[in-house]
Structure 1
């Protein structure tokens, strides 16, 4: 097993995740089996309780792990399925060590950061690096490890020390350190400054790690003289200083072709976290994958649901998942507009639940219809707490991870988009769901519940009759979207928005399965 550790200097958010993903993709394209681990030095057990404005979206894995969004990058770039233990946090490590101490595993010794915490980090990495992530179930050959935060952060020190020791345990020929740094260019002088990178590398070397490759981020291409200066003062050869052009490094993301596309599809994303695009990172990627597949450029308009104003020229509406009552009235207005104006609509998780609320209020005339999340005393609780919901705890209490949804009818748009499969398996993250006791009233008025869980008690998919595309899903299909295999619900939204859905659905179902290749999606074929 070989290990690549990606560290960062100068500032946080420098792009370590994209660099790690890109390096992994290059190695995988060479025929190697690659896995990835993300280390987050915060004390939280996982990312599940974060506000999206803290760290962006919470990415959900097949096994229900709520993890950092960088693991979403790894899965999309590498086309692999990771596990919750591929995300290491300080909280997880300390919890693991404290549990061992309580069980008497340390035989009465004083438990310390060194060696007990550092040993736990190394053992966790070595064990998780061996876990197969591909369909062939073979052990990976290379593990790319991203250390979150910035070198010098006090909370990251135990991890840096762990890898200082680990480079000798793994043997030097099996360990590589890539350091990502910033080369700023102040407007006052217009000169590219190397001192921040020098200081960052000096701090790294002072902690016992010496970079094998320095990846520099800069607003403009870095001059050769600057590369040579970094080489001289950071103790690396000039060829070990590189500038990576993000977005073109991976064979999966063919953005050169994407930028040349002339046709544009405008989609309005109506949510309450619109000030930071990372809050909807996977949603954006799923839309982008679908747009590229049908030879369109995506024009995504982020519309704040608390200040709803729908512009003209919108091709379709997307209401994503979320929590809390703030902004729900704006989302309901957007859903009503899409329903009555016959605009293509996709509701995900909360978006589906609000579509049911809107239909109950305006089509069934249940004016006080609501979710018990927002009004526990509503007389028409069309969305209710799950039976297993425990309101006393926040972390890990939701219905999480990959679950099966069974199609209840063959006459379903989404079933056709999934390649006429009898069931699909998608990832979930929710505490509330549609009240199954009231569904017959909706069905009589044309809102069909076409997908249920395996027991038939949980409503997973809604479709509205006599509408070009009005679909809601309780699961989060964006988490399994890939550049070469776009998510069917998102693909359906863009096909409907561009007026090509019917032609697409008339094709052979076998050619539009979830395992479809990129070429098979070209709109030129229908």
Structure 2
């Protein structure tokens, strides 16, 4: 097993996750099996209770793990399925050690950071690195470990010390360090300043870790003289100092790293024995993706009506899924972030300019998406946006809370239950949305319906079923504790709201659609979690196609293609496939 540790210097949030994912992408193209681990030095057990404003979205894995959003980058770039243990936090490590101490595993010894915490970190890394990914039972060849935060943070000191020891534990030829550092350019001179990188490398060395490769993040490409300066003061060969300037699309990062000789360096440094020939077609797909992302002329505008629009990372997977779908449809995506509170009547009274600007942004968009969230703030604005999309026949996609708001809106304005709401917000007579009884535990962390679940289609007359390839069932990831109240299903369906997808027990409503609407879809699950650059999510594809006015033609084509596909072939696919959709393009 080979290990690549990716550390960060100067500031956090400079792209360690993208660099790690891109290195993995290059290694996969050379035939290696790659897995990833993300280390977050916070004391939380997992990311499940984080505020979206503080830490961005919570990414959910197949096994229900609520993890850092960087694991989403790993899955999207590497095309693998990770597990909750691939995200290590200080809380998890300390909980593991304390549980062992309570059981008496340490035989009365004084439990300390060194060696007990550091040993636990090393054991965890070695164990998780050997877990196979997806259906491949073979052990991975290379594990890429991203250490979150910045070198010098007090929170990460135990992890730094653990890896100082780890490099001797696994031997030098099996372990290398990639240090990602910021090289700022002051506006006054636009000169590349190397001093912050020098200090961060010096600090890393002081902790016993020596970087083998330095990736310098900057606004513009660095001249050779700057690379030579970093090489001299950081004691790294100048060929091992790589500049990674800002790029138009993240898909270009693997290509730039490959052109910089990253594979040749890793191959020599880790004595990699290539198991198969270079898969040129794999990188050709990435290059094609880059070209398509940078050459689109026709624009599609989507209004994202949310509660956390002040921080784009709060909707990281949603934005990426929209981009994947837009790329597939050969459209240039433009997102308009509309704060749902700005659409409410209270805002109209307090700040009419903001109110009218928000509605103008919404009404001029080609399609509307209402993503997930929690709490009562901004709910009336979401419901107002959904009512407008329904009445104006504007393409609409509701995710999780978006589906629940769609059901509430329909109950209020079609069934005339004007006090219809969710038990999350109020306790009125018409609770169209209720809390799932088995998840009413009183705790916040890990108490939702989480992870991969199967949804069964209950009718063939469904837009979303056709987009999924006319399969009988699909597997998608969930993260919610509220659902549509079964008491209102019959009334809602009689009025025209179809629940076309249901859970295994036929009790939970997973997918809703509306009759006589070009595209009005709500899903209880989060399809964005398994969207990939080369395999976009079906509900998001439907929204983009509908927003472009092409959905009807696409569905006609898919139907004709499916007529030539036998039921046995569809069944053998296990889950949904976009095979027929890709034929369309």
The alignment's TM-score, normalised by the length of structure 1, stands at 0.97
Instruction: State whether residues 161 and 207 of structure 2, in contact with CA within 8 Å, keep that contact through their aligned partners in structure 1.
Output: yes
> What residue is the counterpart of 2:67 in the other structure?
67
Shift of 1:516: 3.2
The within-5 A match list for 1:86-105 is 86-105=86-105
- Corresponding residue to 1:454 among 504, 509, 514: 504
- 2:353 is aligned to none
Q: Helix, strand or coil for the counterpart of 1:63?
A: coil
SS at match of 1:317: strand
Partner Cα separation in structure 1 for residue 460 and residue 577 of structure 2: 20
Matches within 5 A, 1:360-379: 360-375=411-426, 377-379=427-429
Write the distance in 1 (CA, Å) between the matches of 2:84 and 2:205: 31
Q: Tell me which residue corresponds to 1:205.
A: 205
Return the offset for 1:54. 1.3
Task: Name the residue aligned to 2:582.
Answer: 521
| Counterpart Cα distance in 2 of 1:357 and 1:224 | 61
- Whose helix fraction is larger, Structure 1's or Structure 2's? 2
CA RMSD of aligned residues (A): 1.5
Secondary structure at the counterpart of residue 488 of structure 2: helix
Question: In structure 2, what is the equivalent of residue 313 of structure 1?
Answer: 364
Aligned-partner SS, 1:249: helix
Tell me which residue corresponds to 1:331. Answer: 382
Deviation at 1:60, TM superposition (A): 0.3
Q: What residue is the counterpart of 2:314 in the other structure?
A: 279
Q: CA deviation at 1:438?
A: 1.1
- 1:176 & 1:238 partners in 2: Cα distance? 17
Question: Do the aligned residues in 1 keep the contact of 2:503 with 2:510 (CA within 8 Å)?
Answer: yes
Q: Provide, for residues 343-367 of structure 1, a one-character-per-residue CA deviation record: whole Å limited to 9, x for no partner.
A: 1100000000000000000000000
Deviation at 1:223, TM superposition (A): 1.2
Within-5 A mapping of 1:47-446: 47-245=47-245, 247=250, 248-250=252-254, 251=283, 254-308=289-343, 309-310=358-359, 311=361, 312-375=363-426, 377-446=427-496
Distance 2:388 2:416 in 1: 17
Bigger drift between 268-277 and 240-249 goes to: 240-249
Contact 1:485 1:514 in 2 (8 A): no
Q: Is the 8 A contact 1:56 1:276 kept in 2?
A: yes
State the alpha-carbon separation in 1 of the partners of residues 183 and 365 from structure 2: 40
**How many residue pairs were aligned?**
522
Aligned-partner Cα distance in 2 for 1:338–1:188: 48
On the 8 A contact 2:471/2:576 being kept in 1, the answer is: no
CA distance in 1, matches of 2:324, 2:387: 27
Give the whole-Å Cα distance in 2 for the aligned partners of 1:337 and 1:69: 32
Q: Does 1:474 align with 2:524?
A: yes
Which SS does the other structure have where 1:485 is aligned?
coil
Q: Is the 8 A contact 1:38 1:148 kept in 2?
A: yes
Q: Distance in 2 between matches of 1:92 and 1:2?
A: 24
Q: Whole-Å Cα distance in 1 between the matches of residues 576 and 21 of structure 2?
A: 23
Asked whether 1:11 is paired with 2:72, we answer no
Counterpart position of 2:533: 483
The alpha-carbon deviation at position 31 of structure 1 amounts to 0.9
Q: CA separation in 2, counterparts of 1:326 and 1:137?
A: 46
Q: State how far apart, in whole Å, the 2-side matches of 1:101 and 1:444 are.
A: 59
CA contact (8 A) 1:294 1:522 kept: no
Paired residues of 1:294 and 1:521 also in contact (CA < 8 A): no
Does residue 493 (structure 1) correspond to residue 582 (structure 2)? The answer is no
CA distance in structure 1 between the aligned counterparts of 2:422 and 2:173, rounded to whole angstroms: 58
Could you tell which deviates more after superposition, 241-250 or 350-359?
A: 241-250
The DSSP-based 3-state class of the residue aligned with 1:132 is coil
Report deviation, 1:391: 4.7
- How far 1:228 sits from its partner (Å)? 0.2
The Cα of 1:522 is off from its aligned counterpart by 7.1
Q: Cα offset for 1:502? A: 1.5
Distance 1:468 1:520, change over 3 A: closer
Secondary structure in 2 aligned to 1:163?
helix
Normalising by the residue count of structure 2, what TM-score does the alignment of the two structures yield? 0.87
Q: Distance in 1 between matches of 2:110 and 2:146?
A: 30
Q: Is contact 1:295-1:522 (8 Å) kept?
A: no
Q: 2:275 corresponds to which residue?
A: none
Bigger CA drift: 239-248 or 489-498?
Answer: 239-248
Q: 1:348 to 1:478 in 2, by over 3 A?
A: same
Q: Find the counterpart in structure 1 of residue 36 from structure 2.
A: 36
Structure-1 separation of matches of 2:555 and 2:325: 15
Say if 2:455 and 2:503, in contact at 8 Å, map to a contact too: yes
C-alpha distance in 2, partners of 1:9/1:386?
44
Is this contact kept in 2: 1:400–1:429, CA < 8 A?
Answer: yes
The SS at the match of 1:243 is strand
Equivalents in 2 of 1:496, 1:324: separation in Å? Answer: 30
